Structure 1
Amino acid sequence: MKELKHIDLSSNRLAGQLPVQFGQLRMLSRALLNRNQLTGPIPESITCMDRLADLDLSMNRISGPIPEKIGKLRVLSTLNLDSNLITGQIPATLLRSGMGILNLSRNSLEGNIPDVFGPNSYFMALDLSFNKLKGPIPGSLSSAKYIGHLDMSHNHLCGAIPVGSPFDHLEASSFASNDCLCGNPLRTC
């Protein structure tokens, strides 16, 4: 099993926790375990999987925080954790990276969105909707190399939406149902 490179066990009604030793599959580049009944935390050992490019744990019952070091995986380009029971804050390492797709929607993440975006931040899709995030939208998001789809709706965000890219091409639905966001494309501040 240590030479395994791809695993797709999605939609199989698998139950129980991911094994603590899951990270010992060091050759694994793709792990699709979505649409199951997996519970418990994301094993810290996943952060040792240097070749992991695609991790999909969406639509399970994964709980606990996102391991801080998961954002330091060099080739991770897709991380899909939506529709779980994940708590805690968004690790800054996830937003600083050059990840292509990051979906953290429909969890119980809280706190402010880390203001750590920069010229290496590249997201074809960044979905943080349906959480308990608060505070302002980070101004550093304007310095990201590229943001395609962005969804921050259904949180507790407040303040002015930053001006410029990527905000100039987004619809109001990307920011809907927050406590007190204002500015284009929403109402004037």
Structure 2
Amino acid sequence: METTYLVVTTALFAAVVNCCPPTDQAALLAFKSALTEPYLGIFNTWTGTDCCTNWYGVSCNPTDSRVIGIILRGESEDRIIETASQTSYMSGSLSPSLCSLDRLTTLIVADWKGISGDIPACITSLPHLRILDLIGNQITGEIPADIGQLGKLTVLNVADNNITGNIPPSIVNLGNLMHLDLSYNRISGEIPADIGKLSMMSRALLKQNQLTGSIPISITKIYRLADLDLSMNRISGTIPAELGSMPVLSTLYLDNNQLYGEIPESILKNTGLNIVNLSSNALVGYLPDVFTTTTYFSVIDLSHNELKGSIPASLSSAKYIGHLDLSNNHFCGAIPAGSPFEQLEAASFSGNDCLCGTPLTRVC
């Protein structure tokens, strides 16, 4: 009898453990009730008492069945979306009930086009959150001021929304952050001066906002930074020469800002840089004559500035330059012969004061 009782009790206990707690289920249902997804029917799977089994996009810890992940992508290769005849679309808002899921490590609600409202401020109380990805919606309001409390966060992606306000100063406390994408919003103010404290960051993408001020010198201290995109803002000041000394920086987009001064030689001497776009600023002076047989760029775009002088002949010695745009400056003199010039179109040199030679029709 005791053995039978023990077996039944153990089985019942296992069944309870393998079923998500009622508090987690209630939080998910409240989250669901704030959203409308009319085409794919993904929330039709959110039925029954066990949110750990067959609830689309929900994952649980196998040990205690606590909810640890919500992954809902409107654009993905998932079968339920690939086979749908309708465009993925979801509207509504992000319910603060999410903050009850205190074991959550991953929250991805991305590319649904119609989700609006604020990011719940209480989301900063989730101690285990590692990934917060809300790209491609219509979220408004500001980034929560206490975002820096998410000490385990590695990915913060809120790109392509309608977020306003400043970059919270506390963001520099995200010591594990590796990927930061705030692009395509309406964020204003200056980049925090001590952003260099984000020592683990490899990508900083802040494109197309309303950021002002100068490029913080501390950003050049981020050893792992490979991609920096500050384009299409209102950033002013000079380009820090230290950017050219960053050891793993590969892409540098500073175009469409209000930068002035000369182009630091170090930028074009950095053999690790692959893409440099400094176009549509107010840069002056000469194009640095620093090109060698180790120079390798996929893109150099310096168009729409106030650069002057001749085009350095050393450019012809470069190992590879895939795309070069020097248009709409004040360059003068003969375009050097040889590669890469013989592969470039006239548009790369148009709008200058007195350039001549191939590929332009103007004869020297």
Please state which band the TM-score falls in when normalised by the shorter chain.
Answer: over 0.9
CA contact (8 A) 1:97 1:122 kept: no
Counterpart of 2:296? 122
For 1:19, which of 188, 192, 195 is the aligned residue? 192
Query: 1:170-185 to 2 correspondence within 5 Å?
Result: 170-185=344-359
Counterpart of 2:287? 113
CA contact (8 A) 1:97 1:120 kept: no
For 1:9, which of 182, 186, 189 is the aligned residue? 182
* Alpha-carbon distance in 2 for matches of 1:36, 1:156: 29
Counterpart secondary structure, 1:83: coil
* Alpha-carbon distance in 2 for matches of 1:159, 1:59: 31
User: 1:124: Cα distance to partner?
Assistant: 0.4
Task: Note if 1:140 corresponds to 2:314.
Answer: yes
Deviations, residues 35-58 of structure 1 (Å, cap 9, x unaligned): 000001000001111111000000
Counterpart of 2:38? none
Task: Note if 1:79 corresponds to 2:252.
Answer: yes
* Alpha-carbon distance in 1 for matches of 2:201, 2:227: 9
Counterpart of 2:158? none
The structure whose residues are more often strand, as a share, is 1
Letter in 1 for 2:242: K
Deviations, residues 88-124 of structure 1 (Å, cap 9, x unaligned): 0000011112211100000000000100011222110
* Alpha-carbon distance in 1 for matches of 2:245, 2:319: 18
* Alpha-carbon distance in 1 for matches of 2:268, 2:319: 12
* Alpha-carbon distance in 2 for matches of 1:145, 1:25: 34
Query: 1:140-179 to 2 correspondence within 5 Å?
Result: 140-179=314-353
> How high is the TM-score relative to the length of structure 1?
0.98
Letter in 1 for 2:280: R
For 1:52, which of 216, 225, 250 is the aligned residue? 225
Counterpart secondary structure, 1:120: coil
Deviations, residues 12-67 of structure 1 (Å, cap 9, x unaligned): 21100111101111111000000000001000001111111000000000000000
Instruction: Give the RMSD, CA atoms, in angstroms.
Output: 0.7
Counterpart of 1:91? 264
The structure whose RCO (Cα within 8 Å, separation 6+) is larger is 1
CA contact (8 A) 1:96 1:120 kept: no
Aligned residue-pair number: 189
Letter in 2 for 1:37: Q
> How high is the TM-score relative to the length of structure 2?
0.51
* Alpha-carbon distance in 2 for matches of 1:73, 1:143: 24
Task: Note if 1:69 corresponds to 2:242.
Answer: yes
Counterpart of 2:109? none
Structure 1 spans left out of the alignment, 5+ residues: none
* Alpha-carbon distance in 1 for matches of 2:318, 2:241: 21
Query: 1:26-37 to 2 correspondence within 5 Å?
Result: 26-37=199-210
Structure 1 outlier segments of 4+, above 3 Å = none
The structure whose residues are more often helix, as a share, is 2
Counterpart secondary structure, 2:194: helix
